[in-house]
């Protein structure tokens, strides 16, 4: 009963989950004329779609290499370009069937914001008879329409979660549903991918989601594909739980509404937060090491696993079949600590490890069911493992190993753009070479006014000549884009200077310099600017996002506050794209010569935690400010290559205005020709 004597309303999981799943279920189309409808799929992570191999490859008989088959993905009214990144099997069997796993991952080439389903992290040895709902699209009466139905998991073909799920025939499964998600209505998570209907027999078949662990383990240039997708999935949901835009109803909210965590160790919010923290760790050193951690936590090996766990989320899922209550909570917290301090090939960010161990200790302290001995054991175990890893050492405040105290001056190209105030939309320009001694060597200039659309074509040859003069074996010269403050968002990095050429900003390092910086009338401010520049090139920069708290816009601090920040501060602007000229002018007046900002405007409801994480990671990998131009060039190349993990950096721009090498020619007055 609830106050007033009314009966408590029964929660219908279908009503809560169906809108979330339907919104993330997409259509798969061919790219040929008419974009024929092929089947269904669903978003599993930002820019990643999961479907069946036979949906995207059925028309081809030959094995398809990764990134060889293009498809279109129907999302709302849009048809998005995509490429088949992985499919197994790569072709139909000689029997005419598509054997397990019959899965394919599509990487979107068009970057759009979209929802994602929640994928189970459990490694179930058997599936219960919980009711499930399946989703997809079907063709009928000249159009493709969404469809869903109910059934139960009636059995499995094969052993454990590595097999194929048999679905009951409670509802019809029309043609076109293949590739759609199958959702457990009790736990509120996707457990499989609809594979086939069984004509004149019982229901249909679905592929268990754990079959994704068959993804190739070869790291590849962008990293292990399984970890890329699962990391993006868990961070997507953690970000939306932590930074809900416009009161959006999230999967974590749905788990709370349907009681998915009833009796479990963690609340839905704690589970989402933990998965997000685990996703920020480097992958386990290997499956053997991951299973050793799980065994240490459980007290015995996990038995009967048809597909071994590969990610930290998979290991967490192996703890869910322990006895509920205190035992499960102790296991989860100990697992979190062991994951944070585990041996790994690639080092983790110290703050990520610390955040995870702090969370485990704080959660343990707040749990009345856990005794002091267990809480103390978490600290003891953490310190012992850290000593074993020899991570307890003074923090180095000097230049990182291998980084030069000051980069050797190299020849660079310079493009100066001068707007014609009396002719809006037309520009004068000058292309120069700036050799090591800093003296300007003009390659070509034009003061007759060139239209914006004509600039790439007109500048192609002068810039090519400048690059020829600057480039050396093993060295690609940077391009200084010199513009007045009002043009700091000038997007020359997206220019294509020749047929088949990469975008300018993806082909070489680029940075923005101002031709009209505010004068250093105050000697103290001039010294501050030089001091900050030296610090950023001798010590690791500390990126600080000034205008955003990952979910909402904040005003850029006043000059007095900016000047009070430590000298190693690297300003980052996330939501100031439209106001970049004013914001960067304030930074420049406050003594900053290096800054990162996002050129494009950001929608108020957009969650930008990926941008914040990405800038921290990029600055860390650059080691000092000298590495930032090259780091941005690599990011732009990754975006151009369609690497989803780099999409956060679209429009990322660098102000890099060396006060020790004043802009050559910036103090020369232009003469009227």
Highest-pLDDT range among 142-146, 469-473, 487-491, 619-623:
619-623
CA 368, CA 563: separation in Å to the nearest integer?
46
Give the chain's end-to-end CA distance (angstroms, integer): 88
Q: What is the helix (H) or strand (E) element at residue 556, kind and residue range?
A: none
Instruction: Pull the structure tokens for residue 293.
Output: 């951690």
For 625-673, how does the pLDDT look when each residue is reduced to its tens digit (9 = 90+)?
Answer: 999 999 999 999 999 988 999 999 999 999 999 998 887 555 443 333 3
> Tokens 């401010």 map to which residue?
525
**In whole angstroms, how far apart are CA 616 and each of 349, 571, 630?**
10, 11, 15
Do residues 156 and 144 make contact, with C-beta atoms less than 8 angstroms apart? no
CA 280, CA 610: separation in Å to the nearest integer?
11
Q: Which residues contact 517 (CB under 8 A, 6 or more apart)?
A: 485, 588, 657
CA 524, CA 652: separation in Å to the nearest integer?
31
Looking at 7-16, 112-121, 619-628, which range is the least confident one? 7-16
Per-position b or e across 236-260, b if 16+ CB within 10 A of its CB:
bbbbbbbbbbeeeebbbbbbbbbeb
Q: Which residues contact 371 (CB under 8 A, 6 or more apart)?
A: none
Burial class (CB in 10 A: 0-12, 13-18, 19+), 481: buried
Question: What is residue 391's predicted lDDT score, i.e. its pLDDT?
Answer: 43
Do residues 341 and 353 make contact, with C-beta atoms less than 8 angstroms apart? yes
For 534-578, how does the pLDDT look when each residue is reduced to its tens digit (9 = 90+)?
Answer: 999 999 999 999 999 877 889 999 999 999 999 999 999 999 988
Looking at 24-33, 205-214, 301-310, 590-599, which range is the least confident one? 301-310
pLDDT over 90 (residue 158) = no
Read off the pTM: 0.84
DSSP 1-64: --TTSPPPPPP-HHHHHHHHHHHHEEEEE-SSTT--EEEEEEEEETTEEEE-HHHHHTT--S--
Do residues 453 and 470 make contact, with C-beta atoms less than 8 angstroms apart? no
* Nearest CA among 44, 231, 255, 19 for reference residue 146: 19
Q: Which residues contact 585 (CB under 8 A, 6 or more apart)?
A: 485, 518
Burial class (CB in 10 A: 0-12, 13-18, 19+), 194: buried
Do residues 321 and 332 make contact, with C-beta atoms less than 8 angstroms apart? no
* Nearest CA among 118, 139, 135, 319 for reference residue 230: 118
**In whole angstroms, how far apart are CA 119 and each of 88, 192, 314?**
19, 9, 11
Strand partners, 573: 597
| CA-based radius of gyration for the chain | 28
pLDDT band at 9; cut points 50, 70, 90: low
* Nearest CA among 87, 34, 408, 70 for reference residue 225: 87
For 443-465, how does the pLDDT look when each residue is reduced to its tens digit (9 = 90+)?
Answer: 999 999 999 999 999 999 899 99
Question: What is residue 381's predicted lDDT score, i.e. its pLDDT?
Answer: 77
């Amino acid at each position: 009963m609830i106050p007033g004597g009314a009966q408590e309303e029964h929660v219908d999981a279908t009503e809560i989950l169906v809108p979330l799943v339907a919104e993330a279920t997409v259509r798969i189309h061919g790219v040929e004329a008419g974009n024929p409808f092929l089947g269904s799929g669903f978003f599993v992570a930002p820019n990643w779609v999961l479907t069946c191999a036979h949906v995207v490859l059925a028309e081809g008989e030959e094995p398809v290499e990764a990134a060889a088959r293009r498809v279109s993905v129907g999302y709302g009214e849009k048809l998005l370009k995509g490429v088949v990144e992985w499919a197994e099997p790569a072709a139909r069997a000689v029997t005419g069937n598509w054997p397990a796993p019959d899965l394919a991952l599509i990487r979107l080439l068009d970057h759009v914001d979209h929802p994602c389903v929640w994928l189970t992290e459990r490694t179930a040895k058997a599936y219960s008879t919980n009711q499930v709902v399946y989703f997809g699209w079907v063709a009928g009466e000249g159009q493709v329409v969404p469809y869903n139905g109910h059934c139960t998991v009636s059995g499995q073909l094969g052993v454990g979660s590595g097999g194929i799920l048999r679905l009951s025939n409670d509802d019809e499964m029309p043609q076109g549903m293949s590739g759609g998600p199958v959702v457990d209505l009790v736990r509120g998570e996707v457990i499989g991918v609809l594979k086939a209907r069984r004509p004149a027999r019982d229901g249909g078949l679905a592929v268990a989601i754990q079959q994704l662990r068959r993804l190739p383990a070869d790291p590849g240039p962008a990293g292990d594909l399984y970890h890329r997708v699962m990391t993006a999935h868990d961070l997507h949901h953690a970000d939306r739980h932590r930074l809900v835009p416009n009161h959006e109803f999230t999967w974590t909210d749905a788990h709370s509404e349907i009681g998915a965590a009833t009796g479990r160790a963690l609340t839905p919010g704690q589970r989402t937060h933990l998965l997000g923290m685990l996703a920020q760790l480097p992958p386990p050193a290997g499956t053997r090491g991951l299973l050793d951690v799980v065994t240490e936590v459980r007290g015995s090996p996990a038995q009967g696993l048809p597909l071994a766990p590969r990610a930290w989320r998979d290991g967490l899922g192996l703890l869910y079949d322990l006895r509920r209550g205190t035992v499960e909570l102790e296991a989860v917290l100990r697992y979190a600590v062991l994951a944070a301090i585990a041996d790994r090939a690639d080092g983790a960010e110290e703050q990520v490890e610390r955040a995870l161990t702090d969370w485990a200790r704080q959660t343990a302290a707040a749990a009345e069911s856990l005794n002091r001995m267990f809480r103390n054991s978490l600290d003891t175990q953490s310190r012992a493992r850290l000593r074993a890893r020899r991570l307890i050492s003074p923090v180095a405040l000097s230049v990182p190993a291998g980084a030069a105290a000051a980069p050797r001056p190299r020849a660079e190209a310079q493009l100066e753009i001068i707007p014609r105030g009396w002719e809006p939309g037309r520009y004068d320009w000058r292309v120069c070479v700036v050799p090591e001694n800093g003296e300007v060597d003009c390659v070509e200039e034009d003061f007759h006014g060139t239209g914006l659309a004509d600039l790439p074509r007109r500048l192609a040859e002068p810039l090519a000549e400048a690059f020829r003069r600057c480039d050396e074996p093993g060295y690609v010269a940077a391009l200084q884009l010199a513009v007045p403050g009002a043009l700091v968002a000038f997007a020359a990095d997206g220019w294509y200077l020749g047929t088949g050429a990469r975008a300018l900003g993806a082909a070489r390092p680029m940075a923005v310099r101002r031709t009209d910086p505010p004068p250093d009338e105050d000697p103290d401010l001039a010294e501050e600017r030089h001091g900050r520049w030296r610090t950023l090139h001798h010590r690791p920069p500390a990126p600080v996002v000034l205008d955003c708290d990952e979910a909402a816009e904040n005003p850029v601090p006043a000059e007095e506050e900016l000047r009070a920040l430590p000298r190693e501060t690297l300003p980052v602007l996330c939501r100031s794209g439209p106001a970049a000229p004013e914001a960067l002018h304030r930074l420049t007046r406050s003594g900053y010569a290096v800054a990162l900002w996002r050129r494009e405007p950001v929608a108020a409801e957009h969650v930008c935690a990926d941008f914040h994480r990405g800038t921290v990671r990029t600055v860390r990998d650059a080691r000092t400010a000298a590495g930032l131009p090259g780091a941005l060039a690599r990011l732009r190349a990754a975006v151009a290559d369609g690497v989803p993990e780099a999409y956060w950096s679209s429009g990322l721009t660098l102000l890099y205005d060396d006060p020790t090498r004043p802009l050559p020619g910036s103090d020369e007055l232009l003469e009227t020709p």
